[in-house]
Amino acid sequence: MRRQLKFFLVSASIFILVCFVIFLVNETVTLVGLAKSIDPLFGWITLGFLLTVYFVFLAVPVLTFLSMPKALRPPKDQESAAYGEYLSQLRPRLKKNPLLKGIGLKFKTKDDINECFKVLDEQADKIIKKTASSVFLTTGISQNGRLDGLMVFLTMTGMVWKVAKIYNQRPSLREMFQLYANVAVTTFVATEIEELDVAEQLEPIIGPVLGGSALSAIPGSRVVVNVVTNSILDGSMNAFLVCRVGVITRRYFGYTREESRSVLRRMASAEAGTMLLSISLTSAKAISDAIWRASKKYALKTPAKVGSAAAGKAGDAASFLKGKARKLIYGEETDGEGEQEQGPPPAPEQEPQT
């Protein structure tokens, strides 16, 4: 049973990676075709640029992975001789880590080792949160499924490489395979989030709430609220997926992972949700402020345009009525604008008296 389950998981991972490659080729063809529609030379330049980016983002992690030493995992029994051997191999590796220089630790006691792990984990969390915040903003504003998927893939690939450099050790090939399978799945999900049309699903909820608030007096406020809500939810879902992949990456490359894969997935989801809370506070405010400023500028420009057009039309109407009035009173012939004035008609001639 265990072999069958392992075979199924490996087959599913291979299938996901193959589908991801097909997806990447399809998106590349679409972008290159769009560039060629502008100019054929621009299309070839776009193709070369994308191929270079793909090579860099895929080759650099592979080369980094191969150059790293094998991962050290702590034995379960901390009183055994194997644990002492583990510490003897771990200390020189931690001393060479540039992130741990100058923190005042001697790398001798277990407390020193645990403090080193804490410092490295904090550095990894900073990278994960920064990456997730970037994905939150870009995907929340762009609202383009295909472009979102490409940005998420490139951003997560760079994140994996940065986190790997922090710990300076490589996990097993199976763990790397599972890690990039998670990256592929996250990219697929990012392309489909925009198709959910969250704003349309939430409109029955937002409508009554907005109707009873002061915002209902502002014209177009419901549209703005729907756009802001959709952007924030799209960005937050993508950011959550990036945080989850980041936590899995940290666990795979870190020094303290002992849990099974199922436990790791649950822990990654829970920790990603905690990270998302701190990210969404700043990112959601940035998105809502950007949309509000854009809508405010448009709202200020629109009345000015309407007012100038109305003033022009009112002037034309006044001139027309003025000309018609003069024609009725004095019998004058005016031009189209009614601007010609010929004064009152001459007095009638008096007949000579006999």
* pLDDT block averages, 10 residues each, the chain of length 354: 64 77 84 88 90 82 73 75 81 83 75 85 91 84 68 82 80 72 72 55 43 45 62 80 87 71 78 84 71 61 50 55 55 47 51 51
**Residue whose entry in the numeric block shows the structure tokens 């920064």:** 130
Do 140 and 234 touch, CB atoms closer than 8 A? yes
Main-chain phi, psi angles of 243, to 5 degrees: -60, -40
pLDDT at 318: 54
User: How far apart, in whole angstroms, are the C-alpha atoms of residue 215 and residue 157?
Assistant: 42
DSSP 126-146: HHHHHHHHHHHHHHHHH--HH
Q: Quick one: residue 278, left, alpha or beta (phi over 0 = left, psi -120 to 50 = alpha)?
A: alpha
- Tell me the C-alpha distance between 213 and 288, whole Å: 18
Exposure string of 293-305, with b = 16+ CB inside 10 Å and e = fewer, is eebeeeeeeeeee
Res 136: pLDDT: 84
pLDDT score recorded for residue 210: 40
Residue given tokens 């809508």 in the structure block: 295
pLDDT value, residue 327 = 58
For 185, 195, 284, 291, the CA distances from 246, given in Å and listed in that order, are 14, 25, 20, 29
